[in-house]
Structure formats: structure tokens, C-alpha cells
Structure 1
């Protein structure tokens, strides 16, 4: 009975002092503290533009204003100054938060000295080399306040060629604007001090306190890290070998061409070693659902028997009947479509 099947940084005057200026300087302390206090209130603004901070080497340069803190000398009298200038350059490494820098700077300030031995007016200069440690409070924000300290060596104007060699130190407060992950604009205030330098005045060795304030505006550039090597391309998943045999209408008999395909599937099984085979039978949409389900199973079992004859163990073969489900060519009901009358053999 036939039914149907369906499918889905030089100075004048005998005595010279300077104020240091190192790649960054400082405003008077009250102003500097005010800046940082205000900056600490900016994190919520900075977070409006998040930066992707990366560790790396950077360079910078800056310049600004400097003031020598009025003082007295070891023989009496006083030294006063007006506003001077300072410039410097640096190289540093950013660990994202902590930073370290090596800085070279030079500056000059106008001074007036009044001592029991001599009175004069001129300029005083200082060259210094310092190592510094700094800390950014919000390295990932557009604006980040920071603090730092430095120590090193200074050369203050005196009667010798290099000047009076002194131990130099400084304290830093600043505010950085991270333009992006590589560029930063920094405004910072500094207190800069040294051990007491000396100068010879009229044959007398005179010392004085050397304390300074400076404010510097600078720019820094961080070198981009080397580009990461692209990951190796992922291997495309390899589909298991599959074969397909076709049948005449309402038949489960294997043609010679189909038997040749079954033999290829058996060869693939042996080449793969430990494998399993699934034989899934299908029908077209001519015939009833029940009839077509049974027919698809008969076709799958016919393939299983042929596989066994080609040396594949029966225990390695699974048989599935799907009837009209999984049409290879979508058709309406009661359509005799040869491409749908098949068994798919998968070796995996």
C-alpha cells in the first residue's frame, strides 16, 4: 500500500645663589597646596573620560617661574630675590600609579645681597640632577593629582668653575591632565632645598641657606608599548567524514553505486581507528508518517548490514530512522524527491 511522506637650566656678581628649577617647579606653598586640594575634588570629573593607562617609558620637558627664599648669610646681612625662571627635562617610567624619574634642570633668579663685607646685585643659578619617586592617585582618569619627592646633586653658582657642589632635595605636588594614554600635561609646585652652599667674599668663606619654590608647566610623552603579537589563528573545526547513499522510491535496496559509497565509509572507519558510525535514514514526503519512519529504518539497517560485510563491527554502528524529517530538498507533501530518499553515514 502506498501512502505519502512529509517535511521543515650662568651668573653675575661675586656671590651667586640659585633657586633650582628642575623639570617642574613650584608655586608658593600655599598656592600649591590649594591647587592639590582642589584637584582632589576632581576625580568625578576625571572619570567622565576614562584613560587606558599602560606602564611604559616616557620623556618630558617643562619650564616656569622660580623664587629664592630670602635668607641671611653666615657673616650676617641678607640675600633677597625676585622672580626667576627654570627649565628642565626628564626621563621616567610609569608603573601606573607609582612613577620614577631622572631629571636634569637649570634655573636663574635675580638676587640682591647685603653683607658686612660687600653689597651687590646680580643673578644666581643652579644646575641639578635628581632622581624622583612620584605617585598618581587616579591614573585612569583624565585628571590626576600626584605627589612626589626627589634627591640628588646640585651645582650652585660660586667662585669655582662648576659651582658649589651640594646635596639637593625636593618635594612635589602636582596635577596631571591625561590627554590620552600617551600624552600628559602637568602643572606642579615644588619646594627645592640644598645643603648650605658657600662662596668666597673678600677672602672670607660665606655660607647661606638655599631654599626655593618653583612652579612648572610641562608636557610628557609615553612611548607606546610594542604591539602584542596576534594570537595564532584558531584551527577550524574539522567535520567528521560523512557519506550519503540514495535509494529508489519506496526501496531499501542498495545499488552498486551505493555499495561503493558504503565501502568508502568502511575504509574511513578503519583509517580513523577508534571510531563510531551513525547511519541515519530518510524518506521523501510520499507516504504516511508511520510508513516512512519504518522505511527510513529499513534503509539505515541495509547500510549497517553492508558496513558489517565490509569489516565494520556491528557494535560500532548506530542506526537512526527519521522518516520525512530533515529533508535535503524542501518539498510539499506527497512529492517523490530522489535527493530526500537517502541514508547519511557519519564516521566520528
Structure 2
């Protein structure tokens, strides 16, 4: 491989590792989101009371698959925790009832929720799972006709109740647009308590009652989230070249690590191998291997972690034929960050080892 090809390959590998490492980050600051998809409203138990009749009629109503749309705005604290406010809308048409109750029409509901979510760092640059829960208030709008033995009627009203939900999703960063993520999400959404609607019944002057039980929904959705405070990752430092016959300047290679890990990824091993091969093509008098961490741990722990990372890279250089005596290792902990951050922030660009060929 020529020196120009070696330079290009090393730069590409180091830059790609840095790009991927910065793609999936816990949200810090303001973000917005929108999702939509299918809503599955579960069968509801119904009680119909007709004035002057022998007693209430009981039945149940089923629903067709409907749709749901949700818009949200939230704030991330940089450690996985997010707080979020949302507005939502769901609609389902009535489907099959049972022998005691026939219905046609639709049920729609809209609500406002406050959510608490947590992003789970699974060590992948491509995906962030997240879970959460929320509570708020929902209004359920009924526009439907119904039939019970001996009577036909219609409901046209709105009732509100306490609502709650559970949330699980996957966030996939879109690297060409920094801060933008594709999300796939499931929500269990419930409107608690009974709701009673005034019902007009044919042939009966007084209003009847149409009473439903709690409202349970399963929602499957896709959408987008956009975080405003994501800093584009810096490019990895490029190896410097010098004209012949002057001595070449120091060359630097960057190896990136997953959070709280000191083991090498396949891409990291490729960068170390390129650095080892470079030592055979140029005069090298000293090899410095310097380890660093982000600011998410204590200072003492981070110093130890940076040393372990430096040792892991040094051992990989030896495995690729570099004499151990030519390598000097140091751990600097969370000092000298590539990207300055507040304490406790997991910044992927700062979890690195520098290989310097002098």
C-alpha cells in the first residue's frame, strides 16, 4: 500500500469511528417530535338506560383499527432522562357489537399528557431504546347510533377523564442531519373511569343514558424527533506528512470507545493496525499512547479507565508487531476533552485514545 493510500485509509477509518460514535447521544436541551400510526381500541362494555323501560340493557362494542397522531415538545438532561409534554388525537370507527347491542359511528379522543422518559445506552452508535410513562387528561367524543332490543337511539357528546400511558420505543439517529432521529414507538394508552352520555331514544321523550367503561388503546407508530442542541462531531485529526527529505511531523491516530468500556471494537482494531503498519514505513523514535474519558464518572475512576484504554491499545499495537519497549502509555482521565462538556455528560468524542508517532 502506498503512503498516500495509507493516509487516506487511516483518515477514513478514524473519521467514520468518530462519526458513528457521535451519532447516538442522550438528548441535551430542547427537542420536538411527531409520530403517527395505527390505534387499536379494545372492546368496551356498555350500559344503556331507557326511561320507562323494564331495566338497563347491557352489551359491548367492538372497534375497527383506527389512527393516532401525537405531537410533543420536551427537554433532555444529557444523562438519558427526558421530560415531555404532548398533545394527542385518536379515532376509531365502531365495528361489531354483540346480540344485545348494535352500534355504528365513531369514537374520537384527544388529550394532553406529561411524560417522563429514559433513554437506554446499549453501547450501539445506531440505536437508542427508550421507555417512559405519562399522565394527563383526555376527552372522549362519541358520535354514534345504537340499537338495543326494543329501542333505537343516538349519542352525540363529549366526556373527559384522567388518562395514563406506558411508552416503549427505539430511536435511530440519522447522521446526515445532526439531531434528527427516526423513532418507532408503542404506547399503551388508557382513559380511566366510566363515562356517561345523554342518549336520544326514538319514541321516548326523556333522554336516556349511554354509559361506557374505561377506554384501553394499543398504538403502533413511526415518526421523527429533532434535538436542537446536538453539536456536530469534530473530524479526527489527520496524519501529517512532510516533504522528503525533511523529517516527517508527528502522526496522530484516534481510537474511540463505547461508554465505560476499554475493549476495542472492530473499527478501532483497524485504526490500530494502520498505525502499526505506519511504523514500518517511516522512521519512528517514540510512540505515545494517551487515554482519555468523558466526564460521566468520578475523576479517580476516569483516570483508571483512561489507563485501561491506553493499555488495550498498546497491547493491540504489540499484537501487530510493534515492540513494547517503543510504546509509552499514559491516562489523563477526563482532562483535555475534544468536546468541552459539563460534568456528568457522556460525550462520545471524549472517550478516546490518541496514538502519536514521533
TM bracket, shorter-chain basis = 0.3 to 0.5
TM norm structure 2: 0.46
| Higher RCO, 1 vs 2 (CA within 8 Å, ≥6 residues apart) | 1
TM norm structure 1: 0.47
